[in-house]
Amino acid sequence: MFGLLKTLLPRSLYGRAALILIVPIVTIQLVVSVAFIQRHFEKVTQQMTEGVGIELRAVLAEMQTAPAGQPMPGIALARALEFRLERPAQEVAQTDAVAFWDLPGRVVIRTLREGLPGLRAADLESDIGAVRLLVDTASGPVVITLDRRRVAASNPHQLLVLMIATSALMTLISYIFLRNQVRPIKKLAEVAEAFGKGRHVVYRPQGALEVRAAGRAFVDMRARIERQIEQRTLMLSGVSHDLRTPLTRLRLGLSMLPEDAETAALLGDVADMERLVDEFLAFARGDAMEETQPVNVAALVQRVVENAQRAGQPVQLRPEVGPGDFLAEARLRPMAIARALENLIGNAVRFGTHVEVSLVLSEQQVRISVEDDGPGIPPELRDEAMAPFTRLDRARDPNRGGGVGLGLSIAADIARSHGGALRLSDSEALGGLKAELRLAR
């Protein structure tokens, strides 16, 4: 029950705030309607009808005491009391007639039946402005017609109209004030979401004191994170430069030695050290030095695949990328996305003989998948595989070489900086590993 109610309730802050406003107002209106209209107006209607009943009994008594032979006894008194007397036609209804929504009319009929003897039928439906009564008298049945306003309070609906109009006006005013309070919260959420996607949006805290405090805390946190990223990048750039200098001297010194197997091995070690330094720097730097920009994702993926093909790698682009996808753009960091895709292709080529790349574009997300026909990664080791400096030796072929365990980590870090994630699963098409790069648009 509570689960169903939870699904029916609005999820947005505007919807829930509007519900908080509307529910109490509607409840108050219902309570007032039941307590005031149904009770107060019923009591007033009953008292007015009892007064008219006294006058009707006087007219009936006059008719009972009138000399025989008068065509319409008591007509003078009826006219003085503003009643109209007439003989009933054959088509006059013999039962009470009242509209289903006419609650005061039901009170009128009940009160008249209790205080007016000889009442056969009351008609309050054929003419909403009059009350027609069929009464048995000593001289025969007569029809007594009187103004409806004499037995019921006039225009009770005006109170309902006034209540509804006032409630609507107050709800509108409350909504305007509420919107001004909710707008800073929505703006803060949008800025935080943009920062999660790697975009820096100018933000100035505004709104209530609590919202301003949250906004200032977010701005300070964002500044600290950006400052930390910048300091880390500058530090690692300096470390990389300092490491490259002795490596370059080693390479120059080895190049001057006689060319033999030992010298070639040492040159290979230097090349491995340079490659390790490059990978460490790429992992630490991430994509902090690059700004987001509108990118044609399909063209970017196609360019990376073509570069891999020119390098002799067994990679192909699936035909799911249609001509219309080349017109779609997303705000990304192109160099970072290309580096992440190159890492995924490199890992796939290292452990498989055939690699396929696919692209799926939607309104909210960009999904780039790299699948291979290699041994894959067991489900229980996939989270560990994306951790930095992790090498799953059981899933590797030592004859194919290996890295330092940063390829998937770099791709996952770039995906997170774009508000997305890296997902590892089994490839249904090739039977190996499927690495899916999900990016928020």
Ordered DSSP codes for 213-273: HHHHHHHHHHHHHHHHHHHHHHHHHHHHHHHHHHHHHHHHHHHTS--SHHHHHHHHHHHHH
Q: pLDDT tens, 34-85?
A: 677 666 677 888 888 999 999 988 888 888 776 666 667 778 888 888 898 8
Q: How confident is the model at residue 369 (pLDDT cuts 50, 70, 90)?
A: very high
Whether residue 297 sits in one domain with residue 221: no
Q: Does 101 reside within a domain?
A: yes
DSSP H or E segment with residue 46: helix 42-65
* pLDDT of 70: 64
| Residue at which a domain ends, from 285, 318, 335 | 285
* Stretch among 31-35, 119-123, 172-176, 325-329 having the lowest mean pLDDT: 325-329
Q: Does 64 reside within a domain?
A: yes
Contact status, residue 160 vs residue 37, Cβ threshold 8 Å: yes
Q: Which of 254 and 146 is assigned the larger pLDDT?
A: 146
Whether residue 369 sits in one domain with residue 245: no
Whether residue 43 sits in one domain with residue 27: yes
Mean pLDDT of 396-407: 50
State the residue for tokens 């790349």: 357
Q: Does 194 reside within a domain?
A: no
Sheet holding 315-317, edge to edge: 315-317, 355-361, 365-372, 433-440, 421-426
Whether residue 270 sits in one domain with residue 390: no
Q: Does 170 reside within a domain?
A: no
Mean pLDDT of 205-226: 86
Whether residue 327 sits in one domain with residue 300: yes
Whether residue 313 sits in one domain with residue 429: yes
* pLDDT of 405: 60
Q: pLDDT tens, 150-178?
A: 887 765 566 667 777 887 888 788 778 88
CATH code for position 51: 3.30.450
pTM flag (> 0.85): no
Q: How confident is the model at residue 273 (pLDDT cuts 50, 70, 90)?
A: confident
Q: What domain range is 229 assigned to? A: 204-285
Q: Which of 112 and 393 is assigned the larger pLDDT?
A: 112
| Residue at which a domain ends, from 130, 157, 184 | 157
| Residue at which a domain ends, from 97, 123, 157 | 157
* pLDDT of 68: 62
- What number of other Cβ atoms are within 10 A of residue 248's Cβ? 12
Q: How confident is the model at residue 394 (pLDDT cuts 50, 70, 90)?
A: very low
Whether residue 217 sits in one domain with residue 298: no
**How far is it, in rounded angstroms, from Cα 239 to Cα 156?**
86
Average pLDDT, the chain: 79
User: DSSP label at 154?
Assistant: S
Is the predicted pLDDT of residue 398 greater than 50, yes or no? Answer: no
Q: Does 165 reside within a domain?
A: no
CATH code for position 295: 3.30.565.10
Which residue, among 166, 47, 38, has the nearest Cα to 103 in the 3D structure? 38
Whether residue 361 sits in one domain with residue 244: no
Please enumerate in sequence order all residues whose Cβ is within 8 A of that of 256, keeping only pairs 6 or more positions apart, or say none. none
Whether residue 77 sits in one domain with residue 117: yes
Whether residue 149 sits in one domain with residue 34: yes
Whether residue 226 sits in one domain with residue 119: no
* pLDDT of 397: 39
Q: Does 435 reside within a domain?
A: yes
Is the predicted pLDDT of residue 268 greater than 70, yes or no? Answer: yes
Please enumerate in sequence order all residues whose Cβ is within 8 A of that of 394, keeping only pairs 6 or more positions apart, or say none. none
Whether residue 346 sits in one domain with residue 293: yes
CATH code for position 220: 1.10.287.130
Q: Does 67 reside within a domain?
A: yes
Number of domains within the chain: 3
Is the predicted pLDDT of residue 342 greater than 60, yes or no? Answer: yes
24-28, 151-155, 276-280: which is most confident: 24-28
CA torsion sign, 160 to 162 to 163 to 165?
positive
Q: Does 180 reside within a domain?
A: no
* Stretch among 151-160, 198-207, 269-278, 407-416 having the lowest mean pLDDT: 151-160
**How far is it, in rounded angstroms, from Cα 157 to Cα 140?**
39
